[in-house]
Amino acid sequence: MNIDELFKIPAIPSGKNKRKLPDNPSMEFLDKYKEASRDDEGEGSSAKRRNIMEEDTDEAGDYELGEDDYDNGEADEEEGGRFYGGGLTDEQRRMLELVDEIDAEEPEALDAATVKKYILRFEKAINKNQEQRVKYPDNPEKFMESEADLDEEIKNLLSLTQAPQHYHELVNLGSVPSLLSLLSHENTDIALDAIELLNELTDEDVGPGEDFADEEKAETIIESIKIFVDALIENQLPELLVQNLQRLDENEAADRQGVFNILSVFENLVSVFPRHSEHIVAKTDLLPWLLKRINTKVYDSNRGYACEIIAILLQDSRDNRVKFGELGGIDVLLRVLSAYKRKDPADDDEAEMMENFFTSLCSALAEPEIKKLFLEGEGVELMLIMIKQVMSRIRAVKVLDYALSTPAGTGNCYRFVESFGLKTLFSMFMRKGIKKLKKAYKAYSESEEEEHLLGIIISLFKNLPQDDVQQLRLVQKFSEDNYEKVDRLFDLLDQYEARDKAVQQEIATEKEELDEEDLEEMEDQFYIRRLDAGLFTLQRVYLTIHIVCEENDGARDHATMLLKRRDMTLSDLSAFIEADDALLKEMDTVRGPVLNPIVQNGDLNKKTQNNDVEMPQAEQAASVEAL
């Protein structure tokens, strides 16, 4: 079958002489259309229309509707004619469906030979452009064509994202230096094109996903991407990108997009290969540029992206955190966060930016040096103010939990009590204003807040000396209002024990269907499920009750009475802690670093990973033996 003949267009008057029909013409419109056609057309045009209709009859399917082809519209309506049938025969419709299917198919994967061809053409375009620019430096018209060709070849290389298994060919053919040389091209548009290409080539989506079926091919792709990225780093890609950040003018739309793409490249490099994070911070001025970029008052997308990159860089690296502190990063974060001490973010994008500010601060506070800088920058006072805001509340509590933990947080513990933080802390602990807060902020998580409030209480007990007036103020809080705070602790105990028991029952049922091998593999997952249900907070509740009973005789008597109602004793608290201690010792990793408190010789050591932020060693409780 000749498809060209099938879809041949008959010789009809040019489009400019046609009347235009709406997409869905009504019968009234068609009647008016026919009357107008009869009035406007003469005999000559009638003969032409007859010739067209005769041609349609002679060549099956070889037609297109003319102006008066709707003259028999009523008959078409009754008999299901061409207009109401779509104007196509069944054979034509099948052919169009076939064409649509072909268009919808994914393009074929590029083979190595095709990739090499693209790369060689790209190299040729670069060389030609360089030659033209050297030969005619003062006559842009002479090298404009070669620049356009280079631009086209850069865009052609975007197709390599369909074949990441061949990325190493860029290295083998020595094209990585050529590609990176474009970042310093005299024509900023060419540099921006190269940045866009690098962004696409390094995008984490080009790699095999978790559901990638062919494991062998997945390994090949990962190795090829690794070779390419390592070559980029060796040829000083980070340094060149930072140079472009400094020369681009964000007042121009194209440059603004270029800055966004550069930040995206950095995110790709660090997300896919975290080992490059410290190299980027140590060898470039990226971190100073990021700090300068976020230290403004007006929100924009690049400012939001810059603070996200900071959060990523600080996530897993002590070296990066220390460098961040040395560059004055804590002061910058506290300054930009202070903009929200009297108001909440205006929209979701700004709220995400504020979230990244808090995340970066929590990451940095994992280091003792940063806790000191936080104290000097009056971070405790700022967080106590920001707690009063709806969206900042839970984030500020989390920051205080991190800032007060470990012996390095002792100074922050003193400052917290001196700044009347106990009043704020226990007001939140007793859930004052919680209904109004939940109504105003749908994303509020009460369980997360309870976890961090308990963490603050434990850190205060640990870091404030027993005979110090500040700890006496803390201990006295649990005697106020007829020991209502002790009652609150037991409410939390009931709440989180019920959650943990429910999950344990589900796990026990699932274990019955598993063999020993599968059971061993699932133990970590089962434990994580318990943590997600609130086991970590339950552990903190037990420890807080334990500490309060040690420090406050009246609270101990009240707790003993409440335990008796539950058929428990203080010894049962000790048994729970000891049992969980044995369980936690068997756990090497939970969500990255171990997330659990461990009682050992009276010391409570804890590491936590929340939102990919490591919380360093932890809170100390009174000795188990003292119970």
188-200 tens-digit pLDDT: 999 999 999 999 9
pLDDT score, position 582: 37
Which token pair is 494?
């009931």
pLDDT at 452 exceeding the cut of 70: yes
Tell me the per-residue pLDDT of 376-386, one tens digit each, with 9 for 90 and over: 999 999 999 99
pLDDT band for position 570 (cuts 50, 70, 90): confident
Phi and psi at residue 598, to the nearest 5°: -130, 125
Q: Which pLDDT score, from 0 to 100, does residue 557 have?
A: 94
Which CATH fold would you assign to the domain 110-284? Leucine-rich Repeat Variant (1.25.10)
Average confidence score pLDDT of the chain? 80
Residue 86 has a pLDDT of 56
Position of tokens 């707690």? 387
pLDDT at 573: 80
Mean pLDDT computed over 322-343: 96
Q: For residue 28, what pLDDT is reported?
A: 57
Specify whether the backbone of 87 is left (phi greater than 0), alpha (psi in -120 to 50) or beta: left
How high is the pLDDT of residue 248?
94
End-to-end CA distance of the chain: 93
- What is the reported pLDDT for 516? 79
pLDDT value of residue 564: 92
E-only strand ranges, 366-464: none
pLDDT band at 36 (very low <50, low <70, confident <90, very high): low
- 292 vs 92: which has the higher pLDDT: 292
CA torsion, ordered 69, 73, 76, 77, to nearest 10 deg: 150
| Listed residue (485, 572, 570, 587) closest to 536, CA to CA | 587
- The string of DSSP codes covering 501-520 is HHHHHHHHHHHTT--HHHHH
> Which residues, 6+ apart, have CB-to-CB distance to 431 below 8 Å?
446, 488
Residue 7 has pLDDT above 60, yes or no: no
pLDDT score, position 136: 85
Task: Judge whether residue 34 has pLDDT over 70.
Answer: no
State percent of the chain over pLDDT 90: 56
Region of poorest pLDDT, from 117-131, 509-523, 524-538, 555-569: 509-523
Q: Given a cut of 50, is residue 546 above it in pLDDT?
A: yes
Closest CA to 576 of 500, 510, 507: 500
Degrees to nearest 5, angle at CA 400 with 397 and 406: 140
Q: What per-residue confidence (pLDDT) applies to 382?
A: 97
Q: What local confidence, expressed as pLDDT, does residue 3 receive? A: 43
φ/ψ (deg, to 5) at 251: -70, -20
Please report the pLDDT score of residue 587 as a whole number.
32
How many Cα atoms occupy the beta-carbon half-sphere of 186 within 13 Å? 12
Stretch (H or E) spanning 604: strand 603-605
Summarize pLDDT for 41-81 with one digit per residue, the tens.
444 444 444 443 444 444 444 434 444 444 444 444 444 44
Q: Cβ distance 202 to 142 under 8 Å? A: no
Closest by CA position to 52, among listed 40, 44, 64, 42: 64
Mean pLDDT of 453-474: 93
Residues 6+ apart with CB under 8 A from 584: 594, 596, 597, 598
Mean pLDDT, to the nearest integer, of 103-122? 76
Number of alpha carbons in the 13 Å side-chain half-sphere of residue 139: 7
What would the two tokens of residue 612 be? 């990919």
Question: What's the mean pLDDT in 509-523?
Answer: 83
Looking at residue 433, its pLDDT comes to 86
Q: What is the pLDDT of residues 337-356, one digit of tens each?
A: 999 998 889 899 999 999 99
Q: Is the pLDDT of residue 611 over 60?
A: no
Average pLDDT over every residue of 136-159: 90
Find residue 598's DSSP bridge partners.
605
* Paired tokens of 253: 């739309």
Query: What is the per-residue pLDDT for 87?
Result: 61
Hey, what are 546's tokens? 């334990």
Looking at residue 569, its pLDDT comes to: 87
Q: Mean pLDDT check: name the lowest of 45-49, 395-399, 616-620.
A: 616-620
**In the chain, where the domains are located:** 3-104, 110-284, 483-626
CB count within 10 Å of CB 358 equals 23
Instruction: Using CB atoms within 10 Å of the CB of residue 621, give its burial: 0 to 12 exposed, 13 to 18 middle, 19+ buried.
Output: buried
Is the pLDDT at 445 greater than 70? The verdict is yes
Least confident of 188-197, 285-294, 392-401, 616-625: 616-625
| pLDDT on residue 600 | 33
Report the alpha-carbon distance of residue 280 to residue 238 in Å, rounded: 6
371-385, 389-403, 508-522: least confident range:
508-522
Q: What sign for the dihedral angle of Cα 89, 90, 95, 100?
A: positive
Between these two residues, 82 and 199, which has the higher pLDDT value? 199
Q: Provide mean pLDDT across the span 172-197.
A: 94
